[in-house]
Amino acid sequence: MGVRLGSADRFTIDELIVTCISRQAKNSDLMAQGIATPLVVAGYILAKLTHAPDLIFAVAIGGCITNSWAPLSISRAEEANLERPLYIFSFDEAAGTLMFTIQPKEFFRPAQVDPRGDFNNVVLGDYYAPKLRLPGCGGIADVTNYSPRVYLYVPRHSRAVFVERLDFVSGVGVLEEEERKELSILSPGPRYLVTNLGTFDFEGGRMRLLSYHPGVRVERIQKKTGFPLAMAPDLHETPPPSAEEVMLLREEIDPLGIRELERLSGGRRRAKLREIIEREAEGF
Amino acid sequence: MSDKVVTLSEAVGLVEPGDTIALGGMTLYRRPVAFARELIRSRVKDLTLLALTAGYESDLLVGAGSVRRVRTCYFGLEIFGLAPMFTKKARDLEIIEETEVSLALGLRAALSGIGFQPARAWQGTDLLKVRPDVKTISCPYTGERYVAFPAIKPDVAVIHVQESDCQGTAILKGNLALDREMALAAKQTIITTERLVEEVEGQIATFPSRVDAVVLAPKGAYPTSCYPYYRLASQEVLDYVDACSRGEFEEYLARFLDGGEVGER
């Protein structure tokens, strides 16, 4: 799916999201990878292959810290992560001491986000009679109490995701100073959000548009958001990926197109998943 | 024989209706799948399923009606999507919300012989509302409010390992999850193992004095992975998801319980 206007077909929206994630990684960062987040993994690797060669990864699959990388894979992710681990952790250590002290940067994918950056990964609808029970929040309710490096991404920006009021709060947004103190929360809230339409922050406790993606109108972003957005004073177009970034993504980092799964749903997603798994079985 | 080696069905006999059963591994990695199969066959019901992250075998246990309560911080199939039977039955299950911290520190409290472990977590979320049993405390030194996560003591822990001896001295390679802690905290611990060896090499993960049964179960984690012996069998997990989306869980379960097509590749 190419983007319209001048940049037609030079990059896809997945590749733009990956590039935005990549640009948030600085060279000395420790980046945490959750599960089922190929856009994020691709973004981290892209950063390592371009501006952040010293990047280190804390990975859930395999439970280790590593500075090596391999092309995105479903069946082989664990063995790739465990091939040359720098450190193997238990979750007693990770949740009990390590995450608080090493404070990795992590991108989370929320099901719902409210104006001040609280988010939900637990349930849609009433908690006791849910419309849809979601997998759960992993460590999000923990990390958002202390981490200064919480980042968000939403592959499909819609009014169902960006809502005035969450069905359930499982990740903490930008709180008033007094409330933070009362709740012993150290985290300043999410620092950054990228969607398929633009990039945002929560400066001043309200979701704010920083940049609109090429070919996307600001009015459309507002229309797809269930509450009024603040606008950054230097609102601009999101810089597109370079030709090199696109080439690295397609040929080196994710030749199977696993990143595309995060934008698909239903039958199309299942068909793509099956195609990827069949190609993996053939040795790709 | 003074060793602890038993058959799978003998090991499953240690599980009583109503028990809290802790399953080792993570989502789709080194899960005690062979044990879950035998547990479903045993028709033991009313279980509380405890897992760091619950995946394939947990969904089968839920679908088969073995589980009444779920305690985990994630129940899903990762890139394969939602866990179909958990999603379908969510309204009928009792779900005890957990996070990485509440599980890790709950087990740590049990291992320390105390009632709770405090942490900077959960505040500002709705988790405390749906877990009224979880209290906050004031730090006696700084006055800050922390959440006091209650001790977690599983009745039975089941850990699938790469290698174990006949007494339950076992090793784990990577992906430690909360397995060492579950094995120590549980009243009874069952090891299922890819290989039974005279003597394990390397840092051990379980202590024989805290292991009650050892089961030789080659490919006992299939179709989840057992690094480095075999990788995640993606095709099989996808077949499961597809079967469920066609409304054919019962057919899949019957095949799974036969242990023919599934689990023997």
What is the tens place of the pLDDT at every residue in A220-233? 999 999 999 999 99
Q: Assess whether pLDDT exceeds 80 at residue B86.
A: yes
Q: Is there a cis peptide before residue B228, judged by omega within 30 degrees of 0?
A: yes
* C-beta atoms surrounding A93 within 10 Å: 16
pLDDT given for residue A5 in this prediction: 42
Domain positions in chain A: 9-281
What is the SS3 assignment for A92?
Answer: helix
pLDDT given for residue B262 in this prediction: 47
Task: Tell whether B260 lies on the interface with A, counting CB pairs under 8 A.
Answer: no
**Which stretch of DSSP H or E encloses residue B112?**
helix B100-112
- The correct CATH number of B8-100+152-218+228-258 out of 3.40.630.30, 3.40.50.300, 3.40.1080.10, 1.10.3720.10 is 3.40.1080.10
Burial of B68 (0-12, 13-18, 19+ CB in 10 A): middle
Name the packing angle between helices B33-42 and B249-258 (round to 10°): 100
Average pLDDT over residues B202-227: 97
Query: How far apart are the C-alpha atoms of A32 and A106, rounded to whole Å?
Result: 5
The phi, psi pair for A246, rounded to 5°, reads: -65, -40
Q: Assess whether pLDDT exceeds 90 at residue A2.
A: no
Q: Is there a cis peptide before residue A240, judged by omega within 30 degrees of 0?
A: no
Average pLDDT over residues B18-29: 98
pLDDT given for residue B85 in this prediction: 98
Nearest chain A Cα distance for residue B34, angstroms: 20
The phi, psi pair for B65, rounded to 5°, reads: 85, 20
Asked: is A9-281 a CATH 3.40.1080.10 domain? The reply is yes
Local structure of residue A259 (DSSP, 8 states): G
Average pLDDT over residues A190-203: 98
Instruction: Find residues 96-125 of chain A whose CB sits inside 8 Å of chain B.
Output: 96, 100, 118, 122
Q: Assess whether pLDDT exceeds 60 at residue A15.
A: yes
Which tokens hold the place of B80? 């394969």
| Dihedral angle, C-alpha A201, A203, A205, A208, nearest 10 ° | -50
Q: List, in sequence order, every residue forming a beta bridge with B148; answer none if it has no partner.
A: B118, B135
The phi, psi pair for B27, rounded to 5°, reads: 30, -75
The residue of B30, B117, B126 whose CB has the most chain A CBs within 10 angstroms, and thus the best one to mutate to test that interface, is B126
pLDDT given for residue B173 in this prediction: 95
Average pLDDT over residues B102-126: 98
Query: How far apart are the C-alpha atoms of A146 and A85, rounded to whole Å?
Result: 26
CB pairs under 8 A between A and B: 188
Q: How confident is the model at residue A168 (pLDDT cuts 50, 70, 90)?
A: very high
What is the SS3 assignment for B122?
Answer: coil
Residue range A46-94, pLDDT digits in tens: 999 999 999 999 999 999 999 999 999 999 999 999 999 999 999 999 9
The phi, psi pair for B41, rounded to 5°, reads: -60, -35
Domain positions in chain B: 8-100+152-218+228-258, 116-150
The residue of A142, A176, A268 whose CB has the most chain B CBs within 10 angstroms, and thus the best one to mutate to test that interface, is A142
CA–CA–CA angle A145, A150, A153 (5° rounding):
135
Average pLDDT score over chain B: 96
The phi, psi pair for B146, rounded to 5°, reads: -125, 165
pLDDT given for residue B250 in this prediction: 98
Query: How far apart are the C-alpha atoms of B215 and B197, rounded to whole Å?
Result: 12
Q: List, in sequence order, every residue forming a beta bridge with A162; answer none if it has no partner.
A: A113
Q: Assess whether pLDDT exceeds 80 at residue A141.
A: yes
Beta carbons of B156 and B163 less than 8 angstroms apart: no
Residue range A52-61, pLDDT digits in tens: 999 999 999 9
Query: Which of A281, A121, A118 has the alpha carbon at shortest distance from A193?
Result: A118
Query: How far apart are the C-alpha atoms of B248 and B242, rounded to whole Å?
Result: 9
The residue of A37, A65, A78, A169 whose CB has the most chain B CBs within 10 angstroms, and thus the best one to mutate to test that interface, is A78
Beta carbons of A230 and A204 less than 8 angstroms apart: yes
* C-beta atoms surrounding B2 within 10 Å: 5
Alpha helix (H) residue ranges in chain A: 13-23, 38-49, 77-82, 91-93, 99-102, 140-143, 177-182, 218-223, 243-247, 266-281
pLDDT given for residue A284 in this prediction: 73
The phi, psi pair for B52, rounded to 5°, reads: -60, -60
Task: Tell whether A172 lies on the interface with B, counting CB pairs under 8 A.
Answer: yes
Q: How confident is the model at residue B49 (pLDDT cuts 50, 70, 90)?
A: very high
Query: How far apart are the C-alpha atoms of A129 and B167, rounded to whole Å?
Result: 46
Residue range A146-155, pLDDT digits in tens: 999 999 999 9
Q: How confident is the model at residue B264 (pLDDT cuts 50, 70, 90)?
A: very low
- The ipTM assigned to this model is 0.95
pLDDT given for residue B2 in this prediction: 67
Q: CB-CB: which of A127, A134, A175 is closest to B130?
A: A127
* Cβ–Cβ gap A277/B234 under 8 Å: yes
